[in-house]
Amino acid sequence: MAAASVLFAALFYAATAVLVVGLALRIRLYAGTPAPLKIPTTPAPVTRGGVAWRLVREVALFESLFKASLWTWLFGWVFHAALALVLLRHLRYFVDPVPAFLAFVQPFGILAGFAMAGGLAGLWARRFLVDRVRYISTPSDHLMLALLLAIAGTGLAMKYLAGTDVVAVKSFFLGLLALDPQPLPSDALLYAHLALVAALMLVFPFSKLLHAPGLFFSPSRNQADDPRERRHLAPWAARLESDRKP
């Protein structure tokens, strides 16, 4: 097998390990850090079920962002929805045979590739055009958008400009899953696409992409508004009480 195939197999094992372990550690850190006070942003749901629904709306619709800024919402929501579709479409490289619903989303996945690039371009434009957003942008904010755009760009290029041997790509990834690495077609665009994806996986647990797990742990969004009905006490706060008479 070519050196490049070995290299990419190793890279994807490493990237997956970093992504999974890194995220798991981060989530454990969030879950293990107490939230000593009730601070939901009100009006807030008064039940756990209501809270779950609030989070569903935030994840699926970006409800708060919609209230904040229509342009950001439009570009951001289109980008994320498209990203979700694109990821779904890519599942076909990891399962064999391909189930019917995955076959069904394929054409939408293609459209989503363009939508994703469009959304990203809009988000990036804000970083240059809106003086407030320009002020807060760091190099990593630009790089992250560049990385995602490059992933989308190389992907679309393989689809429309220089096709690649998708059957071989699939056998490469199925091989990775079976711990039996298979050769990867030698194709510069494909190499670029995959290297960029691996880079994204590697930076995920160390970057602002932690907003995805972060949302679920945000006390202002995930707490129920019931402080008068239930006593809420963090372990470290309870310790303040033990050395005190009632």
Judged by the rule CB under 8 A, the positions of this chain that interact with other proteins are 26, 29-30, 33-39, 41-46, 58, 62, 64-65, 67-69, 72, 76, 123, 126, 130-133, 135-141, 143, 203, 206-208, 210-211, 214-215, 217-221, 225, 227-234, 236-237, 240-241, 244, 246
Minimum CB distance to ligand HEM smaller for 98 or for 133: 133
E strand or H helix that includes residue 221: helix 219-222
Query: Interface mask (CB under 6 A) for ligand HEM, residues 65-104, using x and -?
Result: x------x---x--xx------------------------
Handedness of CA 158, 96, 80, 202 (dihedral sign): negative
- Which does residue 37 touch among ligand HEM, other proteins, none (CB within 5 to 8 A, set by kind)? other proteins
Provide the residue type at 240 as one letter: L
φ/ψ of residue 65, rounded to 5: -65, -35
141 binds ligand HEM (CB under 6 A): yes
Half-sphere exposure in the Cβ direction for 166 (13 Å, CA):
10
Among 211, 228, 230, 231, which residue sits at the site for ligand HEM (rule: CB under 6 A)?
A: 211
C-alpha–C-alpha distance, residues 5 and 7, integer Å: 5
Among 2, 25, 177, 212, which residue sits at the site for ligand HEM (rule: CB under 6 A)?
A: 212
| Cβ(151)–Cβ(118) below 8 Å | no
Minimum CB distance to ligand HEM smaller for 206 or for 237: 206
89-127-116 Cα angle (round to 5): 10
